[in-house]
Amino acid sequence: MEISKVGVVGLGTMGAGIAQVCIQAGFETVGREVSAELGKAARTRIEHYLGRGVEKGRLTAAERAAALGRLETTTELSELGGCDLVVEAIVEELDAKRELFGELDRVVDPHAVLATNTSALSVTEIAAATEHPERVVGMHFFNPAPVLPLVEIVRTEAAAEEALDTAYVFAERLGKRPIRCADTPGFVVNRILIPLLNDCVRVLDEAGVTPEDLDTALTAGLNWPIGPCALIDLIGVDVHVHAAEALHAALGEKRMAPPRRLVEMLATGLLGRKSGAGFFRY
Ligand SMILES: NC(=O)c1ccc[n+]([C@@H]2O[C@H](COP(=O)([O-])OP(=O)(O)OC[C@H]3O[C@@H](n4cnc5c(N)ncnc54)[C@H](O)[C@@H]3O)[C@@H](O)[C@H]2O)c1
């Protein structure tokens, strides 16, 4: 199906990034936030990032202005009614997402695809809150959405092939590199990354290594582009712990559970870059 208008619900870290990618790729985009202030703040962040892109020569000032002209923000869900595809990027809570999908199913044109950007929840359970689970898919973007090319297109048992194909082709039109996968906990990347990062944190204590040396071990020894401690600081300790708990609950494997050190960091507010300190200071 041809996509011309896109909706993004939730303009936080991920939603604002996804909206930015959409307007840069030429799609009329309506972003929905819970308050006009949050919508405005998201627009300001997008303006800022596109401005930096102009400074760095990645786009022209005219392209920036044209992209921003394609972005509309609203607090009214009904304004997403005419969208061909809606990406949901609200808080990672099943009840909130199920309630939203129930509403989206009622207000958005029946031909449209409804996609969730959930990292660790079941797309099947979110889709089950609608009358039309065949049009619900996962579109899992990575942070920062304007930079990382991967999008996991998540298939539930109920999803229609046409909806999955639409989401896949749309991701390609955004300039992304989509892959297809089933609706299993953590999908592909987080299923691998979360226990791997947990192991890295456990090694800190088991092997008496400093965060600096652990990061050097993996950047200098395995050619990782970023060390595990710097990566957790970037993801956010809170986001990582939340995802690890969800995977642990879903799979019951000990390695999935967040290591004690991360739980303590969360309790003391050491969340990584967003709080100014995590494994490192910012
Ligand atoms: N942060 C990441 O690294 C990352 C990566 C991939 C996927 N995700 C997933 O993306 C989703 C969003 O994560 P985030 O980090 O951007 O969260 P965030 O807290 O930065 O943003 C969520 C936004 O949604 C808004 N919101 C809440 N309920 C809403 C509603 N009913 N309608 C409209 N807006 C609403 C909030 O005001 C907030 O601005 C989550 O499902 C998360 O698991 C996050």
Given ligand 1 and candidates 14, 93, 191, 239, which is best to mutate, with the most ligand atoms within 8 Å of its CB?
14
- pLDDT of 238 strictly over 90: yes
5-25 residue pLDDT tens: 999 999 999 999 999 999 999
Nearest ligand 1 atom, CA 120: 43
Tokens of 103: 């509403």
93 Cα to the center of ligand 1, angstroms: 9
152 pocket-lining for ligand 1 (C-beta < 6 Å): no
Angle (nearest 5°) at CA 89 between 192 and 242: 45
40-72 residue pLDDT tens: 999 999 999 999 999 999 999 999 999 999 999
221 Cα to the center of ligand 1, angstroms: 34
What average pLDDT is seen over the chain?
97
- pLDDT of 1 strictly over 90: no
95-113 residue pLDDT tens: 999 999 999 999 999 999 9
The pLDDT score that the predictor gives to residue 117 is 98
pTM attached to this predicted model? 0.94
Percent of the chain with pLDDT over 90: 97
| Interacting residues of 66 by C-beta distance below 8 A, sequence separation 6+ | none
d(CA 247, CA 146): 26
91 pocket-lining for ligand 1 (C-beta < 6 Å): yes
92 pocket-lining for ligand 1 (C-beta < 6 Å): yes
Q: Determine the average pLDDT of the residues in 103-125.
A: 96
Pairing, β 150-155 against β 136-141: antiparallel
- What are the phi and psi torsion angles at 202 (to 5°)? -65, -35
What positions carry a catalytic annotation? 119, 140, 152, 190
What is the C-alpha radius of gyration for the chain, rounded to an integer number of angstroms? 19
Q: Determine the average pLDDT of the residues in 172-187.
A: 97
For residue 120, name the pLDDT band (cuts at 50, 70, 90).
confident
The pLDDT score that the predictor gives to residue 40 is 98
- pLDDT of 219 strictly over 90: yes
Q: Which of 173, 169, 150, 3 has the alpha carbon at shortest distance from 85?
A: 3
DSSP state of 78: G
36 pocket-lining for ligand 1 (C-beta < 6 Å): no
Is-contact 224 280, C-beta < 8 A?
no
275 pocket-lining for ligand 1 (C-beta < 6 Å): no
The amino acid at 261: R
